[in-house]
Amino acid sequence: MFEPSDFIKRAVEDIRERVGDGKAIIALSGGVDSSVASVLASKAIGDRLVAVFVDHGLLREGEVDYVKETFSSRLNLRFIDASERFLEELRGVTDPEEKRRIIGRVFIEVFEEVAEEIGAEYLVQGTIAPDWIESEGKIKSHHNVTLPHGLVLKIVEPLRELYKDEVRILARELGLPDKIIKRQPFPGPGLAVRIIGEITPEKIRICRKANAIVEEEVIGAGLDERLWQYFAVLTDTMATGVKGDMRDFGYLVVLRMVESIDAMTARVPELPWDLIRRISKRITSEIPEVTHVALSVSDKPPSTIEFA
Ligand code: XMP
């Protein structure tokens, strides 16, 4: 039986022993794993942990304010708005894997700059068991990571042996808000994998708004806990629409709502039709650039959950 209070006590002692009076850094994403790891490490070493939250300009609506509100009283939070830098690097890029590589690289650059500036020796990560079981097949703790410019950080992974449900129990025990505990997974590269083709400020704005509408309606309908993920994709397909008595040419948005246990496979369930219609109506009326909304009905496999 998993005992959260015992786990927290041991984890805090372990981190304290490991880091001593050194400094540590963590990349806080706002997801449950990095949030719990940050709070545990901060309990252990206080302000000698710097939690870095990088805004790459591809976050969900309200995410920046939400993370600031939730964590500024709990953590030594360092907020970095790198959105222009990311967008500049992504200009003209259409290939999804290339987008991922660029975002990963710029993220490490930004993170490394902060680590160097504060003189961090340790990197705390919210890695959980499924993250390494699949990729390594064996336990390999206490390793180091060398960042591109040669900075060596010693890795601390307090959640290494845990599964998601246990991390959620810890989050509750640590007093983190329900919104963090229950929220749907959001990919690291953010809206970049939900915008087909070149990423522009206009497309980010449209995609962000469409995603916010889907989230609001799904949560409002009480379906959020049943679905693994629910989101909107901004395609690069243009479709004709009619506004008033004028013909219009705008974007096609695709709704994707899936059930899954672990994202390895996923299934599109039967969804309440009034919900789909409401989302579609809201998207086309609240986002004038969108003329058409479609619903994806493909399972994984053969499709992936994200579109890009
Ligand atoms: P796919 O699309 O491969 O997604 O079926 C499986 C799960 O992984 C998420 N995903 C990502 N997460 N970086 C991430 O951190 C990525 O590049 C990425 N691509 C997909 C996706 O949201 C789903 O939960």
Instruction: Check pocket membership of 189 for ligand 1, CB cut-off 6 A.
Output: yes
Instruction: Check pocket membership of 164 for ligand 1, CB cut-off 6 A.
Output: no
Per-residue pLDDT reduced to its tens digit, 158-174: 999 999 889 999 999 99
The residue-averaged pLDDT of 1-16 equals 96
Mark whether 237 and 158 lie in a shared domain.
no
Domain boundary among 148, 180, 212: 180
Which pLDDT belongs to residue 101? 96
- pLDDT of 142 strictly over 60: no
Q: Whose CA is nearest to atom 3 of ligand 1?
A: 304
Mark whether 26 and 124 lie in a shared domain.
yes
Grouping H, G, I as helix, E, B as strand and the rest as coil, residue 12 is helix
Q: Using a pLDDT cut of 90, give the percent of the chain over it.
A: 87
Which pLDDT belongs to residue 132? 82
Among 164, 305, 307, which residue has the most ligand 1 atoms within 8 Å of its CB, making it the best to mutate? 305
Domain presence at residue 168: yes
Domain boundary among 146, 180, 214: 180
Q: What CA–CA distance (Å, rounded) separates 203 from 90?
A: 13
Among 58, 60, 193, which residue has the most ligand 1 atoms within 8 Å of its CB, making it the best to mutate? 193
Domain presence at residue 298: no
Per-residue pLDDT reduced to its tens digit, 217-267: 999 999 999 999 999 999 999 999 998 889 999 999 999 999 998 888 999
Domain presence at residue 47: yes
Mark whether 142 and 269 lie in a shared domain.
no
In the chain, how many H helices and how many E strands? 10, 9
What amino acid occupies position 49? L
Q: Residue 134: pLDDT band by 50, 70, 90 thresholds? A: low
Domain presence at residue 303: no
Mark whether 176 and 207 lie in a shared domain.
no
Q: Which ligand 1 atom sits nearest the alpha carbon of residue 307?
A: 2
Which pLDDT belongs to residue 66? 93
Q: Which domain holds residue 216?
A: 199-293
Q: Which ligand 1 atom sits nearest the alpha carbon of residue 306?
A: 2
Residue 176: give its domain's CATH number.
3.40.50.620
Mark whether 36 and 118 lie in a shared domain.
yes
Distance 187 CA to ligand 1 centre (A): 5
Ramachandran region, residue 257 (left: φ > 0; alpha: ψ -120 to 50; beta: rest):
beta
Which pLDDT belongs to residue 270? 97
Instruction: Check pocket membership of 306 for ligand 1, CB cut-off 6 A.
Output: yes
Distance 306 CA to ligand 1 centre (A): 6
Q: What CA–CA distance (Å, rounded) separates 93 from 102?
A: 9
More confident residue, 141 or 65: 65
Domain presence at residue 185: no
The annotated binding site for ATP is made up of: 29-35
Mark whether 83 and 221 lie in a shared domain.
no
- pLDDT of 188 strictly over 60: yes
Mark whether 204 and 176 lie in a shared domain.
no
**Cβ-defined contacts of 129-134 (< 8 Å, 24+):** 129/160, 129/161, 129/162, 129/163, 130/163, 130/164, 130/262, 132/160
DSSP code for 195: B
Domain boundary among 152, 180, 208: 180
Mark whether 96 and 166 lie in a shared domain.
yes
- pLDDT of 137 strictly over 70: no
Three-state SS string across 75-123, please? Answer: CCEEEEECHHHHHHHHCCCCCHHHHHHHHHHHHHHHHHHHHHHHCCCEE
Domain presence at residue 80: yes
DSSP code for 60: P
Mark whether 53 and 176 lie in a shared domain.
yes
The residue-averaged pLDDT of 129-154 equals 73
Instruction: Check pocket membership of 130 for ligand 1, CB cut-off 6 A.
Output: no
Mark whether 45 and 126 lie in a shared domain.
yes
Per-residue pLDDT reduced to its tens digit, 53-112: 999 999 999 999 999 999 999 999 999 999 999 999 999 999 999 999 999 999 999 999
Q: Residue 139: pLDDT band by 50, 70, 90 thresholds? A: very low
Domain presence at residue 161: yes
Ramachandran region, residue 30 (left: φ > 0; alpha: ψ -120 to 50; beta: rest):
left
Mark whether 40 and 176 lie in a shared domain.
yes
Q: What CA–CA distance (Å, rounded) separates 31 from 261?
A: 17
Mark whether 126 and 251 lie in a shared domain.
no
Domain presence at residue 31: yes
Report the domain count for the chain. Answer: 2
Average pLDDT over the chain reads: 94
Residue 236: give its domain's CATH number.
3.30.300.10
Three-state SS string across 129-190, please? Answer: HHHHHHHHCCCCCCCEEECCCCCEEEEECCCCCCCHHHHHHHHHHCCCCHHHHHCCCCCCCH
- pLDDT of 136 strictly over 80: no
Distances (CA, A) of 248 to 232, 253, 288, 305, 307: 21, 15, 10, 30, 25
Q: Which ligand 1 atom sits nearest the alpha carbon of residue 185?
A: 24
Q: Whose CA is nearest to atom 10 of ligand 1?
A: 187
Q: Residue 207: pLDDT band by 50, 70, 90 thresholds? A: very high
Q: What tokens appear for 156 in the block? A: 């601390």
